[in-house]
Copies of this chain bind each other. A is one copy, B any other.
Amino acid sequence: MANIQQVAKQAGVSVATVSRVLNGQNTVSSKTKTKVEEAIKFLNYEPSMLGRNLRNSESRIILILIPNISNPFYLDIIKGIENMALSQGYNILLCETDSNPDKENIYFDLVRKKMADGIVSMDPAVNVDTLKELARTYAIIQCSEYGGGIGIPYVTIDSEEASYRAVKHLIQIGHTKIVLMNSDEKFLYARERKAGYQRALKEHGIALDKDYVIYTQELSFAHGQQAMKKILALQDRPTAVFAVSDLLAIGALKEINASGLHVPNDIAVVGFDKIDFSNMTNPTLTTVAQPMYKMGTTAAAMLIDKIKGREVDSVILDHELIIRESTSG
């Protein structure tokens, strides 16, 4: 395991010159450059990032905070972040928090201890106070889910508008008894999506029925099933369900199928996120597509800007309603 000293010796130059060759500085004559490159090859030398990182006070690692890797929603965002990061010489550390403050703290420590240069947070349950405190010293970007007004730049979509459009679509194909399968309103996106739901109903003169707004604890398949069971047991059965996540919607789908009813003839279903599996179900799922990959690249670019000390503004990206079998027989 050769180091820069040995390369310098082998090439008959100083370590400074080797370093210059390593970093592509053009103040080295082509003759010495060749000598150094030969020495590097001869010794099979690989520069240690440990030394470089210490000297440069950077780790070239960025953290991605997500509640759960099992949720396919994050996949494309992660890919976006990763590709942008790689292209700029950064690597990503994927951090599953399980929405657990202790685990969260392990990862926060990584940035406190200089093992990471910044954080893209996608955890809606993140401790906002800690995040805010951390953001005073370190580079942090919120992605998809965000706390507003806490001064940390974010990239996201207009959830209210997306929700409005999804519900409007259901109304336009003739539904009036529409359930909103939402998650806990402690999350901003849940409140926004409810607002969009309400706006669509109001605009079309449909009264809000409390029984038609149902909350789930988690955005999972199992919770979707469970919620759908309750909905199917309602006195006045709705004819459509708008779930704020595809996983919930797929759970609902499964439950409706199991009860012998037909999607979309008996009950239409709309999801949210356009995860890969939303196209694999039977029937395929109508859903709101977020530009996840773009969101990822944007977040990463913003974060790297922040790391380099540049000013960064929040970004709101476009979304799109994807109409598939679950709302069109």
26 pairs of residues in contact across A and B, judged by CB atoms under 8 Å: A1-B137, A46-B114, A48-B113, A49-B59, A49-B110, A50-B50, A50-B54, A50-B57, A50-B59, A50-B115, A51-B54, A53-B54, A69-B75, A69-B79, A70-B75, A72-B72, A86-B106, A91-B93, A91-B110, A91-B115, A92-B93, A221-B279, A250-B280, A254-B280, A277-B280, A282-B282
Interface members, chain A 6-42 (any B CB < 8 Å): none
Residues of A within 8 A of B (CB): 1, 46-51, 53-54, 57, 59, 61, 69-70, 72, 75, 78-79, 82, 86, 91-94, 96, 106, 109-110, 112-115, 137, 221, 250-251, 253-254, 257-258, 276-277, 279-282
Provide the bound-state CA to CA distance between A196 and B276, in Å: 31
Q: State the copy count for this chain.
A: 2
CB distance from A185 to the nearest CB of B (A): 26
Complex formed: what's the CA distance from A78 to B93 in Å?
13
Partner of A46 from the list B47, B53, B79, B113 (CB cut-off 8 Å) is B113
Task: With a 10 A CB-CB cut-off, give which of A46, A106, A280 has the most chain B CB atoms.
Answer: A280
Option from B50, B78, B277, B282 in Cβ contact (under 8 Å) with A114: B50
Q: How far is the CA of A281 from the CA of B279 in the complex (A)?
A: 12
The 5 closest A-B pairs by CB, nearest first: A49-B115, A50-B54, A48-B114, A46-B112, A49-B113
Contacts of A221 in B (CB 8 A): 276, 279-280
A233 to B75, CA, bound (A): 35
Query: With a CB–CB cut-off of 8 A, which chain B residues contact A69?
Result: 75, 78-79
Determine the distance from Cα of A1 to Cα of B253 in the docked complex, in whole angstroms: 53
Give which listed residue, B57, B253, B282, contacts A254 with CB less than 8 A.
B282
Q: Please measure, in the bound complex, the distance between the C-alpha atom of A72 and the C-alpha atom of B74, giving whole angstroms.
A: 12
Chain B residues positioned under 8 Å from A47 (CB to CB) = 113
Given contacts A50-B114, A254-B282, A282-B282, contact A276 B93 (CB under 8 A): no
